Amino acid sequence: MRNIILIVVDTLRADHLGCYGYQRPTSPFLDSLAKKSLVLDACYSTSNFTAPAFTSLFTATYLSRPDIVNFYSQAHVSPVKTVLDANSVCAEGVVSFRFFKNLLARIWGELEAVTETRSFNYSKDLPRAISDGAIEWLEKNGKKKPFCLFLHYDGPHIPYRLPDEYAGLFDTVDANDVDPGIRDSFFPQHLERWDGSGSGQKSPIPHLKKLINDINTRRRRVDEKSRNWIVDKYDASIKYTDDMISRVYEALQRLGMLDDTIVAILSDHGEEFWDHGFFGHGDANVYDEVIRTVGIIHDPSEPLAKRTDLPISHVQILPSLLCLAGAAEIPEQIAALDLQTAVARRAAGGPPEPVFSIGTFKSVVRLDNLKWIHTRLGRHHSLLKRLKSRLRLLWIGKLKDELYDLATDPGERVNLAKQRQRIRPLAALLEQHLEESDKAKLLSKPLPEQDAEEREKIEKELRNLGYM
């Protein structure tokens, strides 16, 4: 079996990379890699925020209730882990925050967190630290074959924290023309540590959360210059991350491991920049700018550029990588998710296969080019919570269902929800999917040894940043 490196970049929109048509030079390395890789043009996350998206990615299993998944709710069953163990794979990783060690504790191997505390230390060198850790791991452990190394980069997630040489890379707006409240919250370049620890100052996390909520509930207006400036910083963060990922690839070459290693690049979700009137991810944001992700798979044995516009779900990614790497003893439920098999089925005239994405308030099913967004206020919730959720969606104008034909309307502008006959088969698929997902008993109780007071504090920070 060959090696696998799975790189996940947090909050990275596919359409902000050159290989997906973006005009800015944000991703020269990934663009060059895409020219000798399989590029997934319709790769979908299973949710619109991190914890459930990662849980589905690493278990190859959909979740019906992403709201109950957080960094203290662990999956304890994973078909992927079964295959890894059967093939004696060294599955380890280097991640940005220690919270991932909790989330993946029972379904993955040892994870090194590059942050020294349990808090959100968004240092300016976080992506660099991930690559440093990855290169050190490869130098020490690269002979532990086969291996599956997971790397998590958080660069494009707010707040944007950049080394000085990247800070103004794509600036089109003078910082003095930007709303000071936006500028200092989204890009706190003046702080050495963004989490506030050790500086005597209050953590800026609650303020940033409130600011984003005010923006999305129309209490805070963001002018055009400030919006453009935010995108400038986001793009600079992508370029910084792209450069750091290239260092890992260069290390594979230097160490003579490249020919025997499959490299996959994903994002867990994207980010909205007022495409549909909102900023960020999570909440009710389930348009393609949020749930469509990067998907690049480099197989050194097939160095030719390939693309597929077949809708692919994140639950298919690790099964596909394991099949591609030549893993043995792959159970039928994993083999059935292999994307090359799915592409072959479709090319042979098989019917389109649905992909699903489930958020806290909205559920999405895409079948071929039709995408249905269904408002789903879970029956598991209390009546009061459902009422509050309904009022919030009503306030922000997102209570109604939506239907889009992505073949003619890729920007999701023309709502076809009045065409009920087109929705019926999608509704049936979604209902069946949710029933089947409810039966997947993946989650265990939170870790009992966590200090309650500390856990409450950390969960508040996670929730404020959209990680829960």
Beta carbons of 12 and 294 less than 8 angstroms apart = yes
Domain encompassing residue 241? 3-352
DSSP 3-state of 223: coil
Q: Is residue 465 part of a domain?
A: no
Number of domains in the chain: 2
pLDDT at 120 over 70: no
pLDDT bracket for residue 304 (50, 70, 90): confident
Q: Is residue 166 part of a domain?
A: yes
CA dihedral 458, 289, 291, 412 (to 10 degrees): 140
Q: Which residue has the higher pLDDT, 447 or 9?
A: 9
Are residues 297 and 421 both part of a single domain?
no
Q: What is the spatial order of strands in the sheet that 370-375 belongs to?
A: 355-358, 362-367, 370-375, 402-405
Are residues 393 and 420 both part of a single domain?
yes
Distance, in Å, from the CA atom of 345 to the CA atom of 348, rounded to the nearest integer, reads 5
Q: Is residue 459 part of a domain?
A: no
Percent of the chain with pLDDT over 90: 60
Are residues 337 and 372 both part of a single domain?
no
Are residues 192 and 76 both part of a single domain?
yes
Distance, in Å, from the CA atom of 185 to the CA atom of 361, rounded to the nearest integer, reads 27
Q: Is residue 451 part of a domain?
A: no
Give tens-digit pLDDT for 46-97. Answer: 999 888 899 899 999 888 665 555 556 667 778 899 999 999 999 999 998 7
Are residues 320 and 383 both part of a single domain?
no
What's the CATH number where 368 sits?
3.30.1120
Phi and psi (nearest 5°) for 407? -70, -40
pLDDT at 118 over 50: no
Are residues 201 and 148 both part of a single domain?
yes
Q: Is residue 121 part of a domain?
A: yes
pLDDT at 359: 85
Are residues 110 and 194 both part of a single domain?
yes
pLDDT at 40: 98
What's the CATH number where 151 sits?
3.40.720.10
What's the rounded mean pLDDT across residues 224-237? 97
Does the predicted model carry a pTM greater than 0.85? yes
Residue 318's Cβ-count burial label (10 Å; 0-12, 13-18, 19+) is buried
pLDDT bracket for residue 119 (50, 70, 90): very low
Are residues 274 and 375 both part of a single domain?
no
pLDDT at 339 over 60: yes
Q: Is residue 467 part of a domain?
A: no
Beta carbons of 126 and 114 less than 8 angstroms apart = yes
Domain boundary (298, 329, 352) is at 352
Are residues 273 and 198 both part of a single domain?
yes
